[in-house]
Every structure is written in C-alpha cells, then in structure tokens.
Structure 1
Amino acid sequence: MVYKGKKWAKIVLIILLSLALLGALVSLGTLNSPLMNKIPLLIMVFVYSMAIYHFGFANSFKDFFIFQNAEITESHQDSKQLMEAEKFWKIIEITKSKSSRDYEKQQFELEKELQKLTVKEVLEFDNKFRALKGEIYNWNFWAAAYIINGGCSDDCFSDFRGWLIGQGKSIFERAIQDIETLSELNETNGGDWEGLSYIPTNVYEKKTGNDMPQGIQENFEIYGEEWDEDEKYLKNKYPKLWAKFGMK
C-alpha cells in the first residue's frame, strides 16, 4: 500500500519501524553480553534507521510517492480521449499473436499488455474499444452474428462486436467495407464471444482500486437496413455468410 501511494500506509509503516528501532536500541543498551552477541541488534538498528530515512525523508522516495499519488488522482479524472489507432491495433495484434487464436488466452494476454500502461492509457484504450464497438452497431453486423451463431440476442451482439475487434484491424476494416468477408473466418470460437470487452475495466480497477470513469459513451443507435429473420431472406441477402455458417 505504501508503494501504491497510500498515505495512511506510509504513516503506519514509519510508526512500526520507529517502534522496532526503539526496541532494538533498548535491547542494545540493556543486554549484558559480549559485542559479538549484539551484532544482530546493531544490524537491526542500522536497517530500521535506513528504512525510516527512506520512507520518511529521502527525496527520491518523496518524488516517487508524489508520482504514485498523481496516478491515483489521475485515475479519478474522466476523459474522452481515444487511444491512437496505430497503438490500439498494435496491442490487439500482440494479444492475438501470443494467444494463437485461443480467445480465452487472448483475454489474458490483453490484461498483461494493459497492465504495462498508465491508468490514463488504459482509459484511452477502453474509449477506443467502445468507439469501435459503436462504429459497427449496424444491422449488417448483427445479421452476421445471427447467421454465424444461429441466433443472436442484444448481449450476444455486444459480445460479438468485442470479439470481432479482437480479430484485428484487417478483418475488422474489411468487414466494414463488405460484411460478406466474414465468411472467410475459419474460427468463430463457437459463438462464445464474451470477455474481451471487460478487460480494460478490470485492469483499471486493479491498478487504481477505483471504478472506471464514464469515458466515451458507446453508440447504441443502430443504423443500416434492418433485416428479416426469415431463412430465405437471410440466404438471399448474405449468400456467402449463409453458405459458410447458415447451413450448419
């Protein structure tokens, strides 16, 4: 807690170290024994004294403590700043590469990558993620999720969009240009798409101990041409997707 910038923890630690130092000094003064037997007490006095100096008076630790508190203060501040696209997609590609197309492992890899960032950068990553999910809140993408999964609720579609972002920039942007390109996917994780969207929030809370700020609000106004759940309609409108997934 001291190294996380908690002032109360720093005070408690210095009090405990001071009591330990006092105890060592009293023992050193009252112990009637040869000098060799007092060496452990001398070491204790030295270690506790250096620790008290470090945590209470060292300029280097004061600067570090200020920095940690600045991070915590920053964590409470809202921001709608988006992470730069190149940086965002690089993180996604790293997690995809390291996970070897294992979606659960990709979530673990994303958590590791986000742990390397500042809390502000984690928020910016989440903002970008939400913005991209909102960008594909589109009837064509919902149809694709519906066909691939054999049905898709609101929550399922939200998870699908998060999963699709995790497939990387190339697949994502090609699908925006032509939704039928998703028929080229060979692995869709069996429709188990939940998880990736939650990682930024989890990392933020672990790093700060606070809830994720509101940040950018994901678009929830669906756009595009609404489709009919009728099998013949979907087959005609999305022939490639239906040929790959709809006949299962």
Structure 2
Amino acid sequence: MDIDSFWDLIEECRRQVQGPDERLAWLRGELSRRSLTEVVQFQVRLDEVTHEAFTWDLWAAADRIFGGWCTDDGFCYFGLWMVSLGRDVFSQAVANPDALADAPEVQGLLGRPREVWNDDWPGWESLDYVAMEAYGILTGVDDECGEAFYDALDAEQRNSGDSSEPLGKRWDVRCEDEASLRLPRLSAMFPLRSLTY
C-alpha cells in the first residue's frame, strides 16, 4: 500500500460512514479483506504521516484547541485525528497549523464546552490499533498484544530513524503575543481562560 492508496482508503472511509466508532468498524472490515502485507503497510503509512505532524507548531495548535494544555498522549491522538480529516486538511495543517481553523470539524467545536465534545473530540487513539485488529482477524490468532503484527511491522519499517522529539522549536501557546502571531485564527477561535494546573 503506497501513500496514495492509504489516503484513498481514508477518504473512502470519510465518504462511507460518520463517527469514530463507525469509521473504525468500516476500516477494520476493509483492511481485513486485504492481504497481511497491505494491512502492515497501512500501519507503516499511518506512522509516516503522523510523524509528519509531529511538530511543535502543531502541538501548539492542539494546545490552543484544548484550552492551553495538551498531554503527550493527547498530542499523539490529535495527530491520528488529523488523519481522519483527510489528506488535504492534513497536508494544509502540517504546512500551516493555523489552517486547522478552516476545518469544519474544528469549527464545529466553537462555543461548545469541552466536556460535551464527546464524539467530536479532536483525538482518535483507536485508529492506531485498527491495522493490528485487522491483522488478528486475517490470521485468526487472538493476540491481544499484537506481537506477530508488531514483528511484521518492524520488518516492514526497516528502522525509520524517526526522532522522539517533535520537529521545530518549542514555544508556549499561553504567551498571547506569540500565539496571535503564529496561530492568529486558532487563537481568536479558542481564547484561553484562566488556567489552573
């Protein structure tokens, strides 16, 4: 599965079903009708694109949307959620994180308390497990830890050498002057309230 086939599958999933659970079920079903190699390659492509989004500027955008803080795990799930927005939105956000302000999924969060975002929450952890689940369906092996899948994934990735640190320079989204320069639209859309840590 090359990168174009990966994004075609993501786009088809967006067209077919709504909601994170329904999309996962659709993807799991679609992947479980493919070869083991394609299932592993789906995960390889997913890891590659989420690594593209692993930048301090996108972390700041997530921080802003989340009200001034976003955990390490929360940012990983945010990157997976960005994949669900489709190739165009994803690519635009990687190039300019403030472009997320144009995404209907981000605009739909405006004016709503975070406590009621529910299925609209900008994070999608489960996407990171769908290929492993499809692999289990294809092999018929109940492998809760996914050892066979991750062995196949390691063999396919061939030591990608990805950094464990985000790309770019870290900055504090809570500094309003800098945030308004770097993320003007997201800063206006998601003003920070008094924060307690």
For normalisation by structure 1, the TM-score amounts to 0.61
2:36 maps to amino acid: V
| RMSD, matched Cα | 1.9
Contact kept? 2:64, 2:173, Cα under 8 Å: no
Deviations 1:87-118, CA, capped at 9 Å, x for gaps: 11110011111123x22211111111111210
Match of 1:226 among 151, 166, 170: 170
Match of 1:239 among 181, 184, 195: 184
**Percent identity among equivalent residues?**
27
- The aligned residue for residue 114 of structure 2 is none
- The aligned residue for residue 131 of structure 1 is 48
List runs of 5+ in structure 2 lacking aligned partners: 107-119
Deviations 1:174-221, CA, capped at 9 Å, x for gaps: 112221110112324223432111111111122222531224258323
Equivalents in 1 of 2:78, 2:167: separation in Å? 17
2:3 maps to amino acid: A
- The aligned residue for residue 91 of structure 1 is 9
Q: How many aligned residue pairs are there?
A: 165
Match of 2:82 among 146, 160, 164: 164
Match of 2:124 among 179, 185, 193: 193
Higher helix share: 1
2:186 maps to amino acid: L
Larger radius of gyration: 1
Matches within 5 A, 1:1-248: 83-100=1-18, 102-150=19-67, 151-188=69-106, 189-208=120-139, 209=141, 211-212=148-149, 213=151, 214=154, 215-216=156-157, 217=160, 219=162, 220-232=164-176, 233-246=178-191
Contact kept? 2:52, 2:94, Cα under 8 Å: no
For normalisation by structure 2, the TM-score amounts to 0.76
Deviation (angstroms), 1:148: 1.3
Equivalents in 2 of 1:146, 1:230: separation in Å? 9
Deviation (angstroms), 1:157: 0.7
List runs of 5+ in structure 1 lacking aligned partners: 1-82
| Structure 1 residue runs of 4 or more that deviate by more than 4 Å after TM superposition | none
